[in-house]
């Protein structure tokens, strides 16, 4: 299926690791130009090196999205390098385990800043370009906004905020033809997830206890499956879809897990 993304510039936060890296690869497969905004790390540099060795057309902007000013600088640099922004994927974040009992109010606010603030700031600064392109926004959220998890108030609140902003922006940006949607993953096998599983005394048993609760196939979602939905939502094939929360989770949230 031709998605019409060839030569489109897609700005992706956290686009060099996990789900973000899968979305960057999917953009390249469709002939789009991913402009990856991420903090610098060995993993990021290894990912970028692999893309360069393949001759891929992409841009890498290494910056920590810790403030509105840094988000503005990231968008400005993306525009300097690419000339335009056709789509935005807000993806960067971390489940930082700031809970109600053991996290302080200051830590809660810091978690909101790490996981929600830059979603708004990136969209705010990219908006003029998105208006010119009649582009689209995809926000990567999380099941924690719907199901809760326990011990992660900051992350869950941020993800809930992302879902609310998706609906709000879809309304606000209707006059400009800008579509805004969110993807809600549940259990996705990313490198970060693998590292978390490895902290348990018996990682295989822990993973099995999780996958047994996933109705469709009793398996983890792959990052590429999230990326496929993201690419579709960014494309003209999704031209009449906006304000939606799309669950790519093997039925984890909405199906009775006893079915598994």
For range 202-226, the mean pLDDT = 94
Catalytic: 155?
yes
- Cβ neighbourhood burial of 52 (10 Å; 0-12, 13-18, 19+): exposed
Q: Is 256 among the domain residues? A: no
- Domain match, 200 and 146 both: no
Domain span at 213:
188-220
- Cβ neighbourhood burial of 111 (10 Å; 0-12, 13-18, 19+): buried
Q: Is 54 among the domain residues? A: yes
Task: Give CA 60 to chain center in angstroms.
Answer: 16
- Domain match, 136 and 227 both: yes
- Domain match, 51 and 155 both: yes
- Domain match, 68 and 101 both: yes
- Domain match, 152 and 215 both: no
- Domain match, 215 and 104 both: no
Q: Is 2 among the domain residues? A: no
What does the pLDDT read at residue 260?
A: 58
Q: How many CB atoms lie within 10 A of CB 137?
A: 28
Q: Is 260 among the domain residues? A: no
SS (H, E, C) 39-106: CCCHHHHHHHHHHHHCCCCCEEEECCCCCHHHHHHHHHHHHHHHCCCCEEEECCCCCCCCCCCCCCHH
Mind listing the pLDDT tens digit for each residue in 203-213? Answer: 999 999 999 99
- Domain match, 200 and 238 both: no
- Domain match, 80 and 200 both: no
CB within 8 A of 137, min separation 6: which ones? 87, 88, 89, 90, 123, 130, 166, 169, 178, 179, 180, 181
Q: Please, are residues 58 and 36 in contact by the beta-carbon 8 Å criterion?
A: yes
- Domain match, 144 and 195 both: no
Question: Is the pLDDT confidence value at 53 over 80?
Answer: yes
Q: Please, are residues 41 and 68 in contact by the beta-carbon 8 Å criterion?
A: no
- Domain match, 213 and 236 both: no
Q: Is 42 among the domain residues? A: yes
For range 179-208, the mean pLDDT = 92
Which of 120, 155, 193, 252 does the annotation list as catalytic?
A: 155
- Domain match, 127 and 206 both: no
**How many domains is the chain partitioned into structurally?**
2
Phi, psi of 242 (to 5 degrees): -155, 150
- Domain match, 63 and 129 both: yes
User: Which pTM value belongs to this model?
Assistant: 0.95
Question: Is the pLDDT confidence value at 202 over 80?
Answer: yes
């Amino acid at each position: 299926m031709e998605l019409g993304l060839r030569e489109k510039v897609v700005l992706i936060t956290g686009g060099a690791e996990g789900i973000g890296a899968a979305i960057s690869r999917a953009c390249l497969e469709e002939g789009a130009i991913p402009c990856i905004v991420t903090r610098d790390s060995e993993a990021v540099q290894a990912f970028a090196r692999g893309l360069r060795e393949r001759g891929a057309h992409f841009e890498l902007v290494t910056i920590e999205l810790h403030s509105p000013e840094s988000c503005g600088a990231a968008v400005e640099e993306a525009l300097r390098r690419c000339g335009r922004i056709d789509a935005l994927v807000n993806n960067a974040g971390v489940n930082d385990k700031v809970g109600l009992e053991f996290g302080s109010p200051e830590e809660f606010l810091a978690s909101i800043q790490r996981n929600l603030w830059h979603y708004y700031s990136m969209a705010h600064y990219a908006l003029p370009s998105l208006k010119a392109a009649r582009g689209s926004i995809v926000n990567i959220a999380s099941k924690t906004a719907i199901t809760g998890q326990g011990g992660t108030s900051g992350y869950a609140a941020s993800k809930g905020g992302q879902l609310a902003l998706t609906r709000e922006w879809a309304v606000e940006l209707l006059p400009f033809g800008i579509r805004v949607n969110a993807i809600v993953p549940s259990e996705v096998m990313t490198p970060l997830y693998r590292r978390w599983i490895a902290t348990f005394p018996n990682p295989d048993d822990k993973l099995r206890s999780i996958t047994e609760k996933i109705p469709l196939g009793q398996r983890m979602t792959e990052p590429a499956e999230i990326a496929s939905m993201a690419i579709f939502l960014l494309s003209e094939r999704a031209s009449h879809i906006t304000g939606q929360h799309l669950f790519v989770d093997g039925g984890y949230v909405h199906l009775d897990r006893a079915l598994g």
